[in-house]
Structures are given as C-alpha cells and as structure tokens.
Chains A and B, each alone.
Chain A
Amino acid sequence: MTDETGSAKRTEIFNSLCKLLMPFNYSGIELKPETDISADLSIDSVTVMDFVMEVEDHFDIEIPLNILSETRTMKDLVKVVEEAVERRELV
C-alpha cells in the first residue's frame, strides 16, 4: 500500500469512528486524532467497551479487550481498526 492510499484509508476510518462515537459523545467535544476516548469524553470503561462493539460490527472485525487497554486515543483506535481490517482482508 502506498502512503497516500494508506492515509486516505486512515482518514476514512477516522471519519467512520467519529460517526460511531457520536451517540457516546455526551459532552459534544470536537474529535481529533489525539482525543483520549475515555478521559476527554468523560465516558466510563463500560461505555468505551459498548462503543467498541459498534466499531466491531461496522467493520466486521474483532477488537479483543486486551488490545483495548492499550488503546487510548482516536489515532490509536484508527491503527487498531486498520490492522484488523487488513488481517480480515488477508484471510
């Protein structure tokens, strides 16, 4: 994959994540790549897990909870989704 298609793909994932996160963004803050999903949005651990379930369904991927514990920002999550989608497409 070239850098360009890679970054286009990441932007697309980021935009999808923003849409999926809308129902959980109670404080309505602006979402940036460096936004900390739990701390900046003031949502608890269970809500983060519920949001991730929506992400899993949308992309038809699995994001094990173990990975989630190291995923803090939107940018981190984009990377996790990108890798999982790639793995699925390899199969």
Chain B
Amino acid sequence: MTDLFEKHKGIVERFQRMMAMGSNAVGVANDRVLSPTRAIINGRETILAGTNNYMGITFDKECIEAGQRALAEFGTGTTGSRIANGTYSLHVELEKNLAEFLNRRHCIVFTTGYQANLGMLAGLAGPKDTIFLDADSHSSIYDGCTLSGAKLVRFRHNDAGDLARRLARLEGDEGGRLVVLEGIYSMLGDRAPLNEFVDVKKQYGFQLLVDEAHSFGVLGPNGRGLADEMGLEEEVDFIVGTFSKSIGAIGGFGAGNHHMFDTLRYASRPYMFTASPSPSAVATANAALRRLKAEPERRVRITRNSQRLFDGFKALGLELGCDRVSPVIAVRCPDETSTVIMWNALLAAGVYVNFAVPPGTPGKACLLRCSVSAAHTEADIDRIIGLFGQVVAVQERQKAVAV
C-alpha cells in the first residue's frame, strides 16, 4: 500500500531546511495583535508590514461595535448556506451597499475571497467555454478555472499581444470566452495594463473579469480598484473582490451589470454548498465599507506611505518586484536560503514581512514581500526602510564584494 503522504516528502525536506535556518516563516503565530500595524510575535512588539491590511481598519471602533452588535443580535454563526437558512438581512444589506459602492447593478457575497473567485469562475464558465487567464494569476483563479471545467488557456503575464495571438488561434471554437485579470498582482505589486486588454476585447470580443482583491479600496477616485483608476469600468463585465484586505473582515464578492447575474446564486457551487459568512464578519464588512466611503483620506495615506517605502527601498539600491508604486512592495532576493536568513533577521529586529518563494511566486522569484497600510506612520515606514538597510542592503553589498 502506498502511503498517501509519500508524495509530500519533498515538501517536508524543504520545510526542514528552512527550520534549520531559523523559525517557521510560513507559520508565524501572532501571540497578540495590538493594532493594524503592531503585534506581539515571539514575545516582542513587531511592526506588521505584510498583512494586506491596506486601509488599516481592523481596529476601527465603529467596525468593532458593529461586529459585537451582530454577534449579540444574530449569534455566532449562520449554520447554513445562502440558499437554505443562511441568508440574513445583514447579507442582503451588504450586497446592496456594495453594489452601490461599486456602481454595479448586482453583487453577490461569498464566504471567503478564495471562494469568490471559485464561485464566480465556476458559475460563469462551463465545459464548453474557454477561460484565458494571466500566467501570474492567484491560485484561487487557477482553482476556480479548474472547477469550472472550461478549456483553460494561460497567456503571458500582462501581455495583451500574447492574449490576442491565443484568441486568434482558437477562433472558431464554440462556447463563451472569459478573460481573467487582476487589478494589482499580489506578489510583485504590478497592475494589469487594462487599456491594452480592452483594445484586444474590442477586436476579438469576450467577457472580462477583473479580480480587484489587492486594488479594491486602494486604487481609483472612488476606491473601486484598477478599472476605476483607469476610467475603464464600463469595459469590465465582472469584478471580484475580498473583505480580507481593505475591508478587514473575511468574505468576498462578485459584481456585474448582466441582467442574469443573480442566476449565479443557483449555478455556483462554491456559493451554494458552504455556510454563509458569519453575522459579525458581514456586519464589520458593512461598517468598513461605510468608513472607506466616508474617509477617502485613508487612500491618500496609503498612497503616500507606499511612495515613501518604495523611494526608501530604491535609495537602498534594492531590486523591487516592479517599477510602479503600489501598496505591494516586494524586495527580490538572490535565492531561497538568503531569503530565509534575511526574513529571520528582519523578524528578530522587529518587522514582519511575507516570505514568498516559488511556486507561489512568478518567474522563480524569492521575495521579501511588504504590504503597506494606511495605518502605518511615517516613522513606521522609516523604521522598515532602516531595518531593510541593515539586513538586506548589507547582505547585497557583501555579495557584491564577494563577486
């Protein structure tokens, strides 16, 4: 009999190599969380610079009170699916408010961001359709594509010309065509060149879905994401987003103007066969949405903080994930071993960032990935830059000397 775990031996060996160099970079426990930007880790107060807590809203008084009220009034969980007993007035209200915020006719809330992509993709596309997905897409997009049963065509990252070539090769195929992009890509922080993809859309015709997970709340005059920033919302048929970043809760959404959009509620398995998000999560999401609308200065602060960190890293001579400033700022490292060592040194010095290595990253990149929050102070940003200067820039200089 073959042991089912046999295939994971490689993972175990890789994990052991990482543990031999320090602590578990992929299983950090926050003993206490003090604020959107501070936690106690290994008994030490640590600056959090890898949380995706873009708007810094997780400790907002109004959000916490809304969550507490919902807990008291609606209980700890819904114990059911949206199509059974799991739809509360809270879910309906959030969907209405989100649709309004997004300026879309329809919106569906999912239990997690991961399930939002699964639910939208598997609901929209079926076995006779073709999904064209960007090579750097998040795993939830890959998994949603697989679940849909559609033909899957992967095009080169941010390359509208490559998408056009593939559309041309498959012209004459039956079924619908869905193209999937992301507003901000989670690992390198680069944006999709949406205008170029829209040109291809006009030429070939397809339906377009943009995952605004990392750009919702962050980009655009209304905080609706990349399509809002580029003034191309009318060209985007469907958007997907999450509550676990700018909204500071958990859950996700899909939205669009299609007159049959709500049919997805009866066609999307990841929507139908899971319990709905908990009352407190939905209530805090609703309150956070109100706050984002009422406080556009959060967007101003995150833009300023992102620019400050980006400039500081550039001044240190660090090689970054991309040349465009966004709240995702990834520092490229030479290899996995040096990344583990530097990640440990940063944590020991008091800053938490994300440790990101292949295959979770594009192009075999080994990254120390930072995400900036509107709640970071200028002093926080300067401290992060200072610690990277001590830990990362020094290592790079030593390497240069060695060569």
Binding site for B on A (CB under 8 A): 42, 44-47, 49-50, 53, 60-62, 64-66, 88, 91
Contact = CB atoms under 8 A, between A and B. Distances in A.
A64 B359 contact: no
A49 B152 CA distance: 12
A64 B153 contact: yes
Taking residues whose C-beta sits less than 8 angstroms from the other chain, chain B's interface range is 10 to 19
Interface of B: 10, 130, 135, 145, 151-154, 156, 166, 169-170, 172, 358-359, 362, 364
Given A61-B169, A64-B151, A44 B358 contact: yes
B169 A62 contact: yes
A62 B151 CA distance: 11
B359 A53 contact: no
A65 B169 contact: no
Main DSSP-derived SS at the A contact region: helix
A58 to B, nearest CB: 13
A62 B153 contact: yes
Contacts of A88: 169
Contact of B152 (A53, A60, A65): A65
A91 B171 CA distance: 11
A83 to B, nearest CB: 14
A65 B147 CA distance: 13
A58 B135 CA distance: 18
B169 A64 contact: no
Residue of A44, A46, A53 contacting most chain B CB atoms (<10 Å): A46
27 contacts: A44-B359, A45-B359, A46-B358, A46-B359, A46-B362, A47-B359, A47-B364, A49-B135, A49-B154, A50-B135, A53-B135, A53-B154, A53-B156, A60-B169, A61-B169, A62-B153, A62-B166, A62-B169, A62-B170, A64-B130, A64-B151, A64-B153, A65-B152, A65-B154, A66-B151, A66-B152, A88-B169
